[in-house]
């Protein structure tokens, strides 16, 4: 997943260092003349955060008042640009204050940061609904004083943002829109805070722990009676499900995992759905999904539903076949000829299938992906592909000295400094609980024309290694890191001059660039380059790589139906009115779209964080994948590590960012319009399915 930076548009619209190629003297000289890293003070107190937030919001307000007081004709330079710069200045100055709630060790700091984030969101909700500002921006648009492609796009985005933020509503409705939007912000923050502070855990016996990897068991707390406490979270779910032989223990974990923060978050979600529905009606839309999709590539709920349904119909039979294979394994292992697959069995027997039919042992593969070396090798690959060089900062200025890695990033050809990236990859109490890239500060040109380098960070939750041992990653975890690193570099390599333009893409395209890059982690030559045995340094052997690749699509149809289920559930939640029984809808959609029903007594929606931020938008993972698989064909034809193709990708996709529409960028990169055939070939589907992806 990616997190779009909270630009003005977003507020308005609701160890070892990598192999570093040596810089030549000429490049070193160029690097010295490059901009310096953007400096952020991460070590601030709750009192400082409160004062900073109050001061910087007041500074923005001063600019807004000055813009509105202007009597001369409205132009891009005297109206819109000051607003854009004021918001960008605020982001620059409050980057730590507004982000530390995701990962600060001190709860008081997290609380103060969350309040600052909320205060910013509420302020810009108010600003975005002001009719006088809307009139000023509309006058800029009518005056056509924006000359460059960047300026014109910025005007377009501002006009749309104000339109969608209630600025055109009558006073009473506008007041209600702002109040409800602020309530929605509070609910989303509380939902995330509950998950980040969740302490769910189960207890297993020594016998149940026997099938788990020794390095995983070594990280668990052992009780006096010989039992173990297993935290139930993102860092333990894969190793536990992959290896726990005891079905009762798997079921216990499954029930705990799918009931995290119920009923608290279920109540929050249903309140949010009701508020969203009311907001949509205030804006003249029939439901929240219609409101959201009016500003997306997909355009309408009907088009999304058809896309999902058409795909599900085609692959559901294959998904049932996937589970029948797993059921056979369960029957063999248990001796019960009538055994069927339960949801808590899928990952375990998928892992068994990999070990038996494909001879892929995930624990053995982990020995080839020690975390520190893998990070270095991935950086080396991106260096070759995109022409960037990473230099590790030995004593980084960061929010956690023990966990955080940081690198300065340079353009290899010119030596120019590009920006700074952080990796915070292990869980801590209160920390963001999933895996995501955060574009903390998108690239920006300052009013004096100078370049303010960007900052971006990957926050993740790999399982911590046992003391004295290296962290070993599964192939799946390597793919996730490579994906998020794709988002990371998209944030660093944008050359759009405004933060609003350089902060990302349309949401139903934003995953496509990183999804495209995931394909690299399935290519034999790339797997050999990235892997390195923790003991010998040897890469994965060719025969093992062949087995990994052969197993790529094991249960792919089943897991895709799960994605269809999540996306359809999300769409149902946001097209069915204000009163939605989220548990009943989840169960209904699961029955209709996947081979396995929802387990009675579970409430997975309570921990499904995408319902805040990707609300009426979860479909975009599959939607974007259609584009991603087609983009990858350029590397298949031109060479996986061909720097010419890589630089074309950087130039046509990453550098423009939001400046151009996705279809324009993809056509420029491919030399033709997008074609969905590559996506459907993954499922063995040929022809031209009627999916309306274009």
Residue 650 lies in a domain: no
pLDDT at 30: 45
Length of the chain: 694
Q: Cα–Cα distances in Å, from 145 out to 78, 142, 152, 156?
A: 10, 8, 9, 12
pLDDT at 656: 95
Mean per-residue pLDDT for 68-95? 96
For residue 418, give the nearest of 397, 442, 434, 395 by alpha carbon. 442
pLDDT at 687: 52
Q: Which of 257, 278, 296 is the last residue of a domain?
A: 257
Give yes or no for a contact between 667 and 509, defined as CB atoms under 8 angstroms apart: no
If asked whether residues 133 and 250 sit together in one domain, one would say: no
Q: What is the pLDDT of residues 472-497, one digit of tens each?
A: 999 999 999 999 999 999 999 999 99
Q: Is residue 524 helix, strand or coil?
A: helix
Number of domains in the chain: 2
If asked whether residues 158 and 230 sit together in one domain, one would say: no
Residue 648 lies in a domain: no
Residue 375 lies in a domain: no
Residue 239 lies in a domain: yes
Q: Which of 164, 195, 226 is the last residue of a domain?
A: 195
pLDDT at 384: 96
pLDDT at 365: 95
Decide the pairing of beta strands 404-411 and 417-424. antiparallel
Residue 527 lies in a domain: no
CATH number of the domain within which 59 lies: 1.20.1050.40
If asked whether residues 153 and 243 sit together in one domain, one would say: no
If asked whether residues 166 and 124 sit together in one domain, one would say: yes
Give yes or no for a contact between 581 and 381, defined as CB atoms under 8 angstroms apart: no
Mean per-residue pLDDT for 276-284? 98
Mean per-residue pLDDT for 606-635? 96
Mean per-residue pLDDT for 644-649? 97
pLDDT above 50 (res 15) = no
Q: What are phi and psi of 285, to 5 degrees?
A: -105, 155
Confidence of residue 35 (pLDDT cuts 50, 70, 90): confident
How far is it, in rounded angstroms, from Cα 2 to Cα 10?
14
pLDDT at 27: 41
The burial of 150, by beta-carbon neighbours within 10 Å (0-12 exposed, 13-18 middle, 19 or more buried), is given as buried
Mean per-residue pLDDT for 545-573? 96
pLDDT at 646: 97
pLDDT above 90 (res 168) = yes
Q: E strands along 262-360, which residues?
A: none
If asked whether residues 94 and 168 sit together in one domain, one would say: yes
* pLDDT over 90 percentage in the chain: 90
If asked whether residues 162 and 224 sit together in one domain, one would say: no
Report the mean per-residue pLDDT for the chain.
92
If asked whether residues 48 and 166 sit together in one domain, one would say: yes
Burial 318-349 (b: 16+ CB within 10 A, else e): bbeebbebbbebbeeeeeeeebebebbbbbbb
The burial of 658, by beta-carbon neighbours within 10 Å (0-12 exposed, 13-18 middle, 19 or more buried), is given as buried
Give yes or no for a contact between 478 and 374, defined as CB atoms under 8 angstroms apart: yes
How far is it, in rounded angstroms, from Cα 434 to Cα 427?
9
How far is it, in rounded angstroms, from Cα 256 to Cα 428?
20
pLDDT at 7: 35
Residue 139 lies in a domain: yes
Looking at 412-511, list the stretches that DSSP marks H as alpha helix, in order from N- to C-terminal side: 475-493, 499-502
How far is it, in rounded angstroms, from Cα 299 to Cα 508?
10
Other beta carbons within 10 angstroms of residue 488's beta carbon come to 25
Q: Which of 257, 272, 295 is the last residue of a domain?
A: 257
Q: What is the pLDDT of residues 664-693, one digit of tens each?
A: 999 999 999 999 999 998 888 775 444 454
pLDDT at 5: 32
Cα–chain center distance at 405: 19
The burial of 82, by beta-carbon neighbours within 10 Å (0-12 exposed, 13-18 middle, 19 or more buried), is given as middle
Residue 54 lies in a domain: yes
Domain ranges, residue 182: 41-195
How far is it, in rounded angstroms, from Cα 147 to Cα 160?
19
Mean per-residue pLDDT for 105-129? 95
Looking at 129-246, list the stretches that DSSP marks H as alpha helix, in order from N- to C-terminal side: 131-143, 149-163, 171-196, 206-209, 214-217, 237-243
If asked whether residues 229 and 180 sit together in one domain, one would say: no
If asked whether residues 211 and 101 sit together in one domain, one would say: no
Q: What is the pLDDT of residues 134-158, one digit of tens each?
A: 999 999 999 999 999 999 999 999 9
Cα–chain center distance at 321: 31
Mean per-residue pLDDT for 644-663? 96
Query: CB-hemisphere CA count at 13 Å for 213?
Result: 24
pLDDT at 34: 61
Instruction: Give Rg (Cα) of the chain.
Output: 25
Q: What is the pLDDT of residues 424-454, one digit of tens each?
A: 999 999 999 889 999 999 999 999 989 999 9
If asked whether residues 205 and 171 sit together in one domain, one would say: no
If asked whether residues 86 and 217 sit together in one domain, one would say: no
Q: What is the pLDDT of residues 128-140, one digit of tens each?
A: 999 999 999 999 9
pLDDT at 131: 96
How far is it, in rounded angstroms, from Cα 364 to Cα 531?
12
Q: What is the pLDDT of residues 334-391, one digit of tens each?
A: 999 999 999 999 999 999 999 999 999 989 999 999 999 999 999 999 999 999 999 9
How far is it, in rounded angstroms, from Cα 324 to Cα 77?
64
If asked whether residues 62 and 88 sit together in one domain, one would say: yes
Residue 297 lies in a domain: no
How far is it, in rounded angstroms, from Cα 117 to Cα 99?
7
Confidence of residue 242 (pLDDT cuts 50, 70, 90): very high
pLDDT above 60 (res 327) = yes
């Amino acid at each position: 997943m990616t997190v779009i930076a909270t630009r003005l548009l977003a507020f308005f619209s609701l160890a070892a260092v990598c192999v570093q190629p040596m810089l030549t003297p000429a490049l070193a000289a160029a690097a010295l003349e490059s901009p310096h890293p953007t400096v952020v003070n991460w070590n601030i107190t709750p009192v400082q955060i409160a004062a900073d937030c109050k001061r910087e919001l007041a500074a923005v307000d001063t600019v807004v008042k000055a813009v509105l007081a202007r009597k001369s004709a409205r132009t891009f330079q005297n109206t819109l640009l000051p607003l854009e710069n004021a918001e960008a200045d605020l982001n620059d100055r409050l980057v730590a204050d507004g982000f530390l709630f995701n990962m600060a060790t001190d709860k008081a700091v997290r609380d103060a940061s969350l309040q600052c984030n909320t205060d910013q969101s509420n302020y810009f909700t108010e600003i975005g609904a002001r009719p006088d500002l809307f009139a000023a921006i509309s006058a800029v648009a009518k005056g056509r004083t924006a000359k460059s492609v960047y300026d014109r796009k910025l005007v377009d985005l501002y006009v749309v943002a104000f339109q969608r933020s209630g600025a055109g509503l009558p006073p009473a409705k506008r007041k209600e829109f702002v109040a409800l939007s602020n309530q929605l912000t509070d609910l989303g923050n509380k939902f995330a805070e509950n998950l980040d502070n969740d302490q769910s855990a189960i207890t297993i016996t020594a016998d149940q722990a026997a099938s788990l990897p020794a390095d995983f068991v070594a990280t668990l707390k052992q009780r006096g009676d010989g039992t173990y406490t297993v935290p139930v979270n993102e860092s333990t779910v894969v190793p536990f499900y992959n290896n726990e032989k005891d079905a009762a223990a798997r079921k216990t974990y499954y029930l705990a995992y799918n009931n995290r923060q119920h009923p608290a978050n279920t109540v929050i979600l249903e309140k949010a759905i009701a508020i969203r529905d009311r907001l949509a009606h205030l804006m003249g839309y029939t439901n929240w999904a219609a409101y959201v999709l009016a500003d997306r590539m997909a355009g309408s709920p009907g088009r999304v539903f058809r896309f999902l349904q058409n795909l599900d119909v085609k692959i559901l039979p294959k998904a049932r076949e996937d589970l029948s294979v797993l059921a056979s394994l369960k029957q063999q292992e248990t001796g019960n000829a009538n055994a069927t697959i339960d949801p808590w069995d899928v990952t375990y027997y998928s892992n068994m299938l990999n070990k038996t039919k494909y001879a892929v042992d995930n624990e053995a593969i982990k020995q080839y992906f020690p975390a520190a070396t893998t990070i270095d090798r991935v950086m080396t690959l991106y260096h070759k592909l995109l022409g960037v060089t990473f230099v590790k900062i030995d004593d980084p200025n960061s929010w956690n000295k023990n966990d955080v890695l940081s690198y300065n990033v340079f353009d290899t050809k010119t030596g120019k400094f590009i920006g700074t990236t952080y990796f915070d990859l292990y869980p801590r109490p209160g920390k963001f609980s999933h895996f995501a890239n955060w574009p903390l500060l998108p690239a920006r040109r300052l009013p004096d024309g100078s370049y303010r380098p960007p900052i971006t960070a990957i926050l993740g939750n790999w399982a911590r290694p046992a003391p004295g041992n290296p962290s070993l990653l599964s192939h799946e975890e390597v793919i996730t890191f490579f994906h998020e690193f794709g988002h990371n570099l998209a944030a660093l390599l944008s050359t759009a001059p405004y933060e609003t333009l350089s902060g990302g893409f349309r949401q139903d395209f934003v995953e496509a660039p990183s999804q495209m890059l995931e394909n690299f982690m399935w290519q034999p030559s790339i797997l050999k380059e990235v892997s390195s045995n923790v003991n010998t340094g040897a890469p994965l052997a060719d025969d093992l790589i062949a087995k990994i690749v052969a197993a790529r699509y094991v249960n792919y149809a089943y897991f895709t139906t799960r994605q269809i289920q999540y996306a359809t559930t999300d769409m149902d939640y946001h097209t069915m009115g204000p009163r939605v029984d989220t548990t009943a809808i989840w169960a209904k959609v699961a029955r209709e779209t996947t081979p396995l029903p929802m387990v009675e007594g579970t409430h997975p929606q309570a921990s499904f964080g995408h319902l805040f931020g990707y609300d009426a938008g979860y479909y975009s993972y599959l939607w974007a994948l259609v584009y991603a698989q087609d983009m990858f064909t350029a590397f298949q034809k031109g060479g996986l590590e061909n720097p010419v193709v890589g630089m074309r990708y950087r130039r046509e996709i990453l550098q423009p960012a939001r400046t151009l529409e996705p279809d324009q960028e993809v056509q420029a990169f491919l030399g033709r319009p997008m074609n969905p055939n590559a996506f459907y070939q993954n499922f063995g589907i040929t022809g031209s399915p009627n999916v309306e992806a274009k």
